[in-house]
Structure formats: C-alpha cells, structure tokens
Amino acid sequence: MKKIFLIALSSFMGLSQLSTAQEKIAKRPNILFAVADDAGWKHFSAYGCKWVKTPAFDRVAKDGILFNNAYTPNGKCAPSRACIITGRNSWQLE
C-alpha cells in the first residue's frame, strides 16, 4: 500500500511542476507585428474603412490590442523593418 501511495504522490508532483512550466509559458506576451507595404491605417476595416475588408486583421484587433498611435523610426519600409528586427536605429544600419 505504501509503494502505491508513493508512486501516486511522485506522479502528482511531476504533474504540478509541468503545470507550473505551462503557466510560465502562458504568461509570456504573444506579439504579432503586421507589416504591409503601401497600406496605411486607413486601409483596414478595424479602423473604420468601409471599402476594404480585412476580416483576419479585424479578428486579431478584436481579440488583442489595436494601436491608435504608433511611431516609425523611418518613413521607408525596408529601414523600418530592419529597425524592428535588429532593435537598432535606422542611422546605425548599413
């Protein structure tokens, strides 16, 4: 009887450690960068555009966070992407 109890107790302790690890993973933020060429904020239905339908983007905006104010380090798309990927300023990129 004691052996069965110890096996059950050790199995239960292993499961609790697993759930703690899963909780740590679940607490990490899930960040999605949506980068599009030649698309302004006015061209997404989540921002009120009536003539462009973006259902997938609308769903992400509804279930997550929709930014109404953002900053770009550079007016050009390629340097802005490089800044996002590297974390450097556009004047530091070659």
Please identify every residue annotated as catalytic. 77
Q: b/e for 18-50, b at 16 or more Cβ within 10 A?
A: eeeeeeeeeeeeeeeeeeeeeeeeeebeebeee
